[in-house]
């Protein structure tokens, strides 16, 4: 395939300067590359939650499912189980997946299902205009915390490592080449992959200068070493004023959930028949 055009006619309503543009451009470029390398466009399915991040699926001309707040992961998992040949990419916010949908994220990591989760971690509720989230720092002043947030933030990378995620990475919305590199590897990874993107929200929590002074690309880090990954993930706790490592923290090739799950099932035709029977039970009359 020579010509790939993933653009849509949807009007883009993100604020000028929003870090979501970099995520959009990076993912479009990576998927275009993957399509040109022989992956059919119809094999990609995008899933989003609710928030500014979620609008991304309106701007990419691929099959997509705009789900509910906090429910990107279960929708993505269901699509994968129904058709394991598909490549599923979930786009979620820090409120969406680290707050309301956290339990889904942890269990998806635990079962190592082959989906890729890209978290637009702006550390604030963008769409609902500036409330704190599980990754907002202590003392963060926003619409719901006018006297300052009293809680310490989660470190999502540590949580993901502890839950069994087999690909864990962090990018920055103002480093598009690194984003492209990480996204491509995350999508190609067989198993659960998560990319936490430090996404600048210019309107409600502009961390551009803060991040720019602190981020650095990890070099010489052994991605296969779990202990080293945990140590690196702890280097910055989403609160302290330390340097912030970017790149791939951890990667491990383990059997993906859907393979062992489907092996234990009967053939595709039997499954269809089974589903038909279940649905018949719900038929009225």
Give residues in contact with ligand SF4 (CB under 6 A): 14-15, 18, 20, 52, 122, 126, 201-204
Kindly state whether residue 94 participates in binding Mg ion, applying the rule CB under 5 A: yes
- The nearer residue to ligand SF4, 15 or 162, going by C-beta atoms, is 15
Burial of 263 (C-beta count, 10 Å sphere; 0-12/13-18/19+): exposed
Distance CA 61, CA 22 (A): 17
Tell me how far apart the alpha carbons of residues 160 and 196 are, in angstroms, rounded to a whole number.
10
Buried b (16+ CB within 10 A) or exposed e, 105-137: bbbbbebbbbbbbbbbbbbbbbbeebbbbbbbb
What is the nearest approach in angstroms of ligand TPP to the Cβ of residue 125? 4
Stretch of 121-129, 171-179, 220-228, 262-270 lying at the interface with ligand TPP (CB under 6 A): 121-129
Nearer to Mg ion, 89 or 229 (CB): 89
What is the nearest approach in angstroms of ligand SF4 to the Cβ of residue 11? 13
Contacts of 272 (CB under 8 A, 6+ apart): none
Identified binder of ligand TPP from the candidate list 96, 196, 223, 258, rule CB under 6 A: 96
User: Is 93 a residue that touches ligand TPP (CB under 6 A)?
Assistant: yes
Other beta carbons less than 10 A from residue 60's beta carbon? 21
Give the Cα separation of 61 and 39 in Å (integer).
Answer: 15
Give the residue, chosen from 19, 90, 95, 130, that forms a contact with ligand TPP under the rule CB under 6 A.
Answer: 95
Question: Using CB under 6 A as the criterion, which residues of the chain lie in contact with ligand TPP when the complex forms?
Answer: 50-53, 68-69, 93-96, 100, 120, 122, 124-128, 133
């Amino acid at each position: 395939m020579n010509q790939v055009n993933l653009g849509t006619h949807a009007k883009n309503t993100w604020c000028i300067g929003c870090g979501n543009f970099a995520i959009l451009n990076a993912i479009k470029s990576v998927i275009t590359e993957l399509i040109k390398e022989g992956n059919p466009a119809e094999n990609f399915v995008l899933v989003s939650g609710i928030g500014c991040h979620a609008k991304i699926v309106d701007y990419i001309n691929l099959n997509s499912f705009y789900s509910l707040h906090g429910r990107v992961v279960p929708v993505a998992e269901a699509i994968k189980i129904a058709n394991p040949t598909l490549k599923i990419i979930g786009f979620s916010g820090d409120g969406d997946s680290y707050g309301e949908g956290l339990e889904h994220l942890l269990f998806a990591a635990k079962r190592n299902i082959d989906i890729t989760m890209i978290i637009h971690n702006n550390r604030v509720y963008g769409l609902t205009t500036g409330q704190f989230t599980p990754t907002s720092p202590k003392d963060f002043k926003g619409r719901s915390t006018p006297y300052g947030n009293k809680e310490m933030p989660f470190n999502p990378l540590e949580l993901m490592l502890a839950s069994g995620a087999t690909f864990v990475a962090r990018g920055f919305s103002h480093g598009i080449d690194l984003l492209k590199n990480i996204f491509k590897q995350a999508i190609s990874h067989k198993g659960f992959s998560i990319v936490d993107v430090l996404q600048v929200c210019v309107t409600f929590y502009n961390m551009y200068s803060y991040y720019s002074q602190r981020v650095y690309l990890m070099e010489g880090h052994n991605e296969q070493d779990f202990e080293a990954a945990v140590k690196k993930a702890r280097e910055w706790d989403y609160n302290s004023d330390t340097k912030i490592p970017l790149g791939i923290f951890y990667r491990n090739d383990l059997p993906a959930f859907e393979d062992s799950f489907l092996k234990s099932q009967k053939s595709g035709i039997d499954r269809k028949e089974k589903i038909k029977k279940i649905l018949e039970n719900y038929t009225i009359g």
